[in-house]
């Protein structure tokens, strides 16, 4: 028995030696922090979180909505992560639950998950491809449940952190020096979800828009009929039905919906226009949705072409994701046309923010 | 609590130390610790079903004693039927109730008789099929005079709930396990080390091979209607490997943990993918269930059908395999699974080669080309049938089969899974099957105790452990057979 225990301990020791460095990196970077602790720490420290190997953002967003009960809520995919709390008069009354819904069904699921929360205004981004009959399967659902387990986090992270250490993507010094941000990406890239639910992109880690190289992948997808750019002629009836149910339910719960089609980078939008015959559903959508929203007395905007409100390629991170400046442009436009939303904002303040923006991708200096 | 979790690692370490260092003096204390540990292990999932387990065990404990004590044959038979009624009744309620109701409703609706019946939302207690079969064999064996009832309740309760085998078997028989509970366990170094090796092998099979196969097979089965037939073949292949690595991996772990506690449990797998025909396959796959069904269903049936010659044998095998199929769950797919396997037996019965046992690879390589051909053919049959096992319903299975037989069989396969994962998985499958082929005469695939140089053994342990850390996906930690 003694020999057996000794050998087991020896094996554990060898393993510990092999594992300790990646384990330390994972631990120190906050990759093992469970989602509820993230919520509590963000509330106190207002830091960024962005874990590299696990994604509990759906759960964290939902939990935050339940806890904070915001008056103005943004819901949608990663394309609306740039709506910030300082767009509103009362910053604490706002929360950005972007990535909380990745499909029309996701909207209803989210609403089901917040039976006790009825925001006064729900700003909803409706990704165009949600309504493509052909691309339904490509939209991955965002889980709102808590999946965290130490074992699975460890297993999913171990191999990748080893590679990331070798590639220099996880630096000991940087991680060791950091004591506020949670998650490897948040520390290494200074990029992640803020306390208000918006996402801070790090300019340095993203390619500049000038070269148009950043749109290459999206452009290829148009050519290849793939990755959210699937060609399609027919609008998905199922998704229109889901959306109708969602609007009805919001009406019943006295939630004012301000919805919009989110913008594409102008370069990509031009390509979509060139291929108009392949994306008939998208242009059909622009005609169908205003009628549907009018029926329920909710507001609808079409920002597919951001140039119409002054946006440009400089404000894009890629074909689908635009900066907070572009989000601010949309906000200003919506405030101008919707009195309810306007009541929560100061239009002059917003235009001032846009005018004095630090860069095309950041409103405040260093993306604060 | 699953074996491949941090919770279980903590639980088992504590349990092991208590078992050998604190409660090692008295057998009764050790057995009591096993019972308590097993109940904690089970309650971790849902404590409410612990009551069902305890009640079922207590009922069968007293029933066993009373069957033995019964003075008349009629009373003995009455008590046996009572036990069977309780066991099968519990199974029927928890596992098959909604299935029967649904099937009857559909049956009536075919004749335009619409019956409005509400289905009950029933949660299937974990491991119910396994522990019920254990208690049923106990009372039948007592009734047949093959075994004596135990009068030590701690031993019986610990036997039924023995945590390494509680959730997914093997279905240990009374004759094997209860004598081990009655004998003082002495720590055996060689046995414990071999147990650790078997656990490690089980972890590799489950966490690396099975979980990665799941990443490839699941998207194929989810979107089979959009995919070419060549991809569907790959889906069926990876699922077949997945289910083997998953279940046999679990069994390896269960066997290893039992050996660390000084128990030798029933062997459940004997390299089924090296079987030469379907009868050989069933002698190697889920052996504890097959032997259970053989003893309590097949043999009585063959006696009953003995006057019908080969037709009687076909009938007995068919019923036998349908029972095996429906044991897995309340779904017509499992019945069809049994029927298909039953049909594969017919050529063997006609040729009279069903019981011709060929040991897997007595020579160092294949004895003949035809042997390799037989192994591949058997694998293909199993793979083909596993489609129906995996399908959610008969329609899905039928559609999958229809899609398989199309011109797209020669098209380039389209896998949604990342190419790196696919390559890693294929390499790991080759490694697993090669190691098992080399050790096919040993009791499990990684029995490398015969390696004389410890450095070599330790290097292999570290390679295996590192591969578990590096190649295990986070998803798919649940075992497939937990649902049965």
- pLDDT tens across B192-202, in order? 999 999 999 99
Q: B26-55 as b/e, with b when 16 or more CB fall inside 10 Å?
A: ebeebbbbbbebbbebbebbeeebbeebbe
Mean pLDDT of chain B: 90
Residue A259 backbone dihedrals phi, psi, to 5 degrees: -110, 160
What is the pLDDT, as a whole number, of residue B306?
Answer: 87
Contacts of A149 in chain B (CB under 8 A): 5-6, 477
Residue B300 CB neighbour total at 10 angstroms: 11
Give the mean model confidence (pLDDT) for residues A206-232: 78
Token pair, residue A17, equals 């030696």
C-alpha distance from residue A326 to each of A180, B140, B360 (Å): 29, 75, 68
Give the mean model confidence (pLDDT) for residues B361-384: 81
Where residue B331 falls among pLDDT bands split at 50, 70, 90? confident
Token pair, residue A72, equals 């103005």
Give the mean model confidence (pLDDT) for residues B308-325: 93
CA of A267, closest CA in chain B: separation in Å? 29
Find, among A127, A126, A164, the residue nearest to A25 by Cα: A164
What is the pLDDT, as a whole number, of residue B115?
Answer: 64
- DSSP string spanning A33-47? --HHHHHHHHHHH--
CB-based contact A1 B187, cutoff 8 Å: yes
CATH architecture of A2-367: 3-Layer(aba) Sandwich (3.40)
Instruction: Please list the residues that pair with A95 across neighbouring strands.
Output: A73
Q: Which of B20, B226, B473 lies closest to A156 in CB terms? A: B473
What is the pLDDT, as a whole number, of residue A215?
Answer: 86
CB-based contact A159 B469, cutoff 8 Å: yes
CB-based contact A149 B5, cutoff 8 Å: yes
Give the mean model confidence (pLDDT) for residues B261-267: 95
What is the pLDDT, as a whole number, of residue B417?
Answer: 85
Token pair, residue A42, equals 């963000």
Report which of residues A368 and A134 the model is more confident about: A134
Give the mean model confidence (pLDDT) for residues A259-276: 94
CA of A151, closest CA in chain B: separation in Å? 6
Contacts of B20 in chain A (CB under 8 A): 1
> How many CB pairs lie under 8 A apart between chains A and B?
47
Residue B344 CB neighbour total at 10 angstroms: 20
Q: Which of A11, A19, A54 lies closest to B461 in CB terms? A: A11
Given phi > 0 = left and psi -120 to 50 = alpha, else beta, which region is A190? left
Q: At what angle do helices A2-29 and B189-203 cross, to 10 degrees?
A: 30
Report yes or no: A263 and A304 within 8 Å, Cβ to Cβ. yes
What is the pLDDT, as a whole number, of residue A220?
Answer: 87
Taking only the tens place, the pLDDT of each residue in A59-109 is 999 999 999 999 999 999 999 999 999 999 999 999 999 988 989 999 999
Contacts of B193 in chain A (CB under 8 A): 4, 7
Contacts of A134 (CB under 8 A, 6+ apart): A230, A231, A232, A234
Confidence check: pLDDT of A22 > 70: yes
Q: Which of A3, A14, A150 lies closest to B462 in CB terms? A: A14
Report yes or no: A317 and A206 within 8 Å, Cβ to Cβ. yes
Nearest CA in chain A to B187: A1
Report yes or no: A106 and A141 within 8 Å, Cβ to Cβ. yes
Give the mean model confidence (pLDDT) for residues B255-279: 95
Chain A interface, mutation test: which of B420, B463, B470, B474, most A Cβ atoms within 10 Å?
B474
Confidence check: pLDDT of A138 > 50: no
Chain B interface, mutation test: which of A56, A140, A159, most B Cβ atoms within 10 Å?
A159
What is the pLDDT, as a whole number, of residue B243?
Answer: 96
Give the mean model confidence (pLDDT) for residues B134-145: 94
CB-based contact A153 B474, cutoff 8 Å: yes
CB-based contact B462 A54, cutoff 8 Å: no
Give the mean model confidence (pLDDT) for residues B136-163: 95
Does a cis peptide bond (omega within 30 degrees of 0) precede residue B170?
yes
Structure ipTM over 0.90, yes or no:
no
Taking only the tens place, the pLDDT of each residue in B23-58 is 988 999 999 999 999 999 999 988 888 999 999 999
Q: Which of A151, A153, A158 lies closest to B4 in CB terms? A: A151
Find, among B94, B260, B257, the residue nearest to B168 by Cα: B257
CB-based contact B469 A152, cutoff 8 Å: no
Nearest 10 degrees: CA dihedral of B283, B286, B288, B294? -50
Contacts of A19 in chain B (CB under 8 A): 469
Report yes or no: A75 and A53 within 8 Å, Cβ to Cβ. no
Nearest CA in chain A to B472: A155
CB-based contact A159 B4, cutoff 8 Å: no
CA of B262, closest CA in chain A: separation in Å? 12
C-alpha distance from residue B37 to each of B170, B188, B203, B402 (Å): 18, 21, 22, 49
Where residue A205 falls among pLDDT bands split at 50, 70, 90? very low
Token pair, residue A266, equals 């102008």
Where residue B190 falls among pLDDT bands split at 50, 70, 90? very high
Contacts of A153 in chain B (CB under 8 A): 474
What is the pLDDT, as a whole number, of residue B117?
Answer: 61
What is the pLDDT, as a whole number, of residue B48?
Answer: 86
What is the pLDDT, as a whole number, of residue A167?
Answer: 78
B328 is catalytic: yes
HEC profile for B360-428? CCCCCCCCCHHHHHHHHHHHHHHHHHHHHHHCCCHHHHHHHHHHHCCHHHHCCCCCCCCHHHHHHHHHH
Instruction: Please list the residues that pair with A132 across neighbouring strands.
Output: A235
CB-based contact A4 B6, cutoff 8 Å: no
Rg, C-alpha atoms of chain B = 23
Taking only the tens place, the pLDDT of each residue in A284-298 is 999 999 999 999 999
CA of A12, closest CA in chain B: separation in Å? 10
What is the pLDDT, as a whole number, of residue B444?
Answer: 92
What is the pLDDT, as a whole number, of residue A365?
Answer: 77
What is the pLDDT, as a whole number, of residue A139?
Answer: 46
CB-based contact A149 B4, cutoff 8 Å: no
Chain B residues whose C-beta sits inside 8 Å of any chain A C-beta: 4-6, 20, 187, 189, 192-193, 196, 207, 223, 226, 458, 461-462, 465-466, 469-475, 477
CB-based contact A156 B189, cutoff 8 Å: no
CA of A153, closest CA in chain B: separation in Å? 7
Token pair, residue B329, equals 């769950």
Nearest CA in chain A to B195: A4
Q: A289-310 as b/e, with b when 16 or more CB fall inside 10 Å?
A: beeebeeeebbbbbbbbbeeee
**CA separation for the pair B17, A87 (Å, rounded):** 60
What is the pLDDT, as a whole number, of residue B366?
Answer: 60
Confidence check: pLDDT of B352 > 90: no
Chain B interface, mutation test: which of A20, A149, A155, A230, most B Cβ atoms within 10 Å?
A155
Give the mean model confidence (pLDDT) for residues B166-171: 90
CB-based contact A18 B462, cutoff 8 Å: yes
**CA separation for the pair A21, A26 (Å, rounded):** 9
What is the pLDDT, as a whole number, of residue B333?
Answer: 94
Which of these is catalytic: B66, B118, B225, B328? B328
Confidence check: pLDDT of A209 > 60: no
Token pair, residue A269, equals 């939008």
Domain regions of chain B by residue span: 26-186, 191-276+358-483
């Amino acid at each position: 028995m003694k020999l057996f225990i000794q050998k087991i301990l020896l094996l554990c020791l060898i393993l510990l030696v092999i594992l300790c460095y990646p384990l330390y990196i994972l631990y120190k970077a906050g990759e093992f922090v469970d989602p509820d602790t993230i919520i509590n720490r963000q509330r106190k420290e207002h830091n960024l979180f962005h874990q590299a190997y696990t994604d509990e953002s759906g759960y964290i967003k939902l939990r935050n909505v339940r806890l904070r009960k915001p008056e103005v809520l943004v819901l949608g995919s990663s394309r609306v992560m740039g709506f910030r709390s300082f767009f509103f008069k009362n910053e604490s009354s706002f929360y950005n639950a972007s990535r909380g819904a990745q499909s029309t069904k996701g909207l209803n699921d989210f609403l089901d998950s917040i039976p006790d929360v009825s925001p006064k205004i729900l700003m909803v981004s409706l990704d165009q491809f949600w309504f493509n009959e052909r691309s339904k399967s490509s939209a991955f659902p965002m889980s709102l449940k808590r999946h965290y387990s130490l074992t699975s986090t460890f297993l999913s992270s171990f191999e990748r952190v080893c590679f990331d250490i070798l590639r220099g993507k996880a630096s000991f010094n940087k991680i060791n020096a950091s004591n506020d941000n949670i998650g490897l990406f948040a520390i290494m890239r200074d990029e992640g979800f803020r306390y208000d639910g918006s996402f801070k992109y790090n300019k340095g880690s993203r390619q500049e828009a000038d070269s148009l190289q950043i749109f290459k992948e999206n452009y290829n997808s148009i050519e290849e009929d793939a990755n959210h750019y699937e060609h399609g002629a027919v609008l998905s009836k199922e998704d229109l039905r889901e959306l109708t149910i969602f609007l009805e339910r919001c009406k019943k719960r006295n939630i004012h919906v301000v919805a919009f089609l989110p913008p594409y980078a102008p370069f990509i939008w031009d390509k979509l226009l060139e291929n108009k015959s392949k994306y008939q559903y998208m242009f059909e959508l622009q005609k169908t949705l205003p009628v549907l929203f009018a029926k329920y007395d909710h507001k609808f905007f079409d920002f597919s072409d951001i140039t119409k409100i002054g946006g440009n390629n400089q404000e894009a991170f890629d074909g689908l994701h635009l900066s907070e400046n572009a989000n601010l442009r949309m906000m200003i436009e919506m405030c101008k046309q919707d009195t309810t939303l306007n009541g929560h904002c100061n239009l002059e303040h917003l235009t001032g923010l846009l005018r004095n923006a630090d860069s095309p991708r950041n409103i405040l200096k260093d993306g604060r | 609590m699953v074996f491949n979790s941090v919770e279980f690692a903590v639980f088992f370490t504590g349990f092991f130390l208590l078992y050998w260092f604190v409660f090692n003096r008295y057998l009764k204390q050790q057995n009591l610790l096993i019972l308590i540990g097993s109940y904690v292990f089970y309650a971790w999932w849902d404590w409410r079903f612990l009551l069902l387990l305890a009640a079922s065990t207590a009922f069968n404990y007293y029933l066993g004693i009373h069957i033995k004590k019964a003075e008349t044959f009629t009373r003995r038979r009455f008590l046996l039927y009572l036990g069977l009624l309780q066991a099968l009744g519990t199974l029927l309620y928890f596992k098959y109730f909604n299935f029967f109701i649904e099937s009857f409703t559909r049956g009536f609706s075919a004749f335009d008789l619409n019956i409005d019946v509400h289905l009950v939302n029933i949660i299937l207690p974990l491991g119910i099929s396994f522990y019920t079969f254990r208690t049923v064999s106990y009372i039948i064996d007592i009734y047949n005079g093959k075994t004596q009832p135990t009068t030590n309740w701690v031993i019986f309760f610990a036997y039924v709930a023995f945590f390494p085998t509680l959730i997914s078997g093997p279905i240990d028989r009374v004759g094997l396990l209860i004598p081990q509970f009655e004998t003082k366990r002495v720590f055996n170094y060689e046995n414990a080390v071999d147990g650790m090796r078997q656990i490690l092998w089980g972890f590799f099979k489950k966490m690396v091979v099975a979980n990665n196969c799941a990443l490839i097979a699941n998207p194929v089965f989810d979107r089979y209607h959009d995919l070419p037939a060549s991809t569907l073949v790959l889906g069926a292949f990876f699922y077949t490997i997945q289910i083997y690595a998953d279940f046999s991996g679990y069994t390896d772990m269960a066997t290893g943990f039992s050996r660390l506690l000084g128990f030798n449990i029933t062997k459940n797998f004997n390299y089924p993918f090296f079987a030469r025909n379907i009868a050989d396959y069933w002698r190697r796959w889920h052996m504890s269930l097959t032997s259970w069904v053989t003893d309590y269903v097949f043999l009585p049936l063959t006696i009953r059908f003995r006057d019908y010659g080969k037709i009687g044998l076909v009938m007995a095998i068919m019923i036998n395999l349908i029972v095996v199929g429906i044991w897995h769950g309340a779904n017509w797919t499992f019945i069809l699974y049994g029927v298909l396997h039953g049909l594969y037996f017919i050529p063997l019965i006609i040729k009279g080669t069903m019981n011709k046992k060929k040991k897997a690879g007595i020579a160092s390589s294949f004895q003949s080309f035809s042997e390799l051909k037989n192994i591949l053919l058997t694998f293909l049959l199993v793979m083909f049938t596993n489609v129906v096992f995996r399908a959610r319903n008969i329609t899905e299975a039928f559609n999958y089969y229809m899609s398989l037989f199309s011109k797209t069989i020669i098209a380039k396969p389209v896998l949604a899974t990342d190419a790196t994962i696919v390559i890693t998985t294929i390499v790991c499958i080759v490694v697993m099957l090669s190691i098992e082929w080399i050790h096919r005469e040993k009791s499990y695939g990684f029995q490398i105790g015969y390696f004389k140089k410890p450095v070599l053994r330790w290097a292999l342990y570290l390679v295996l452990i590192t591969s578990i850390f590096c190649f295990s996906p986070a998803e798919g930690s649940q075992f497939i057979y937990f649902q049965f």
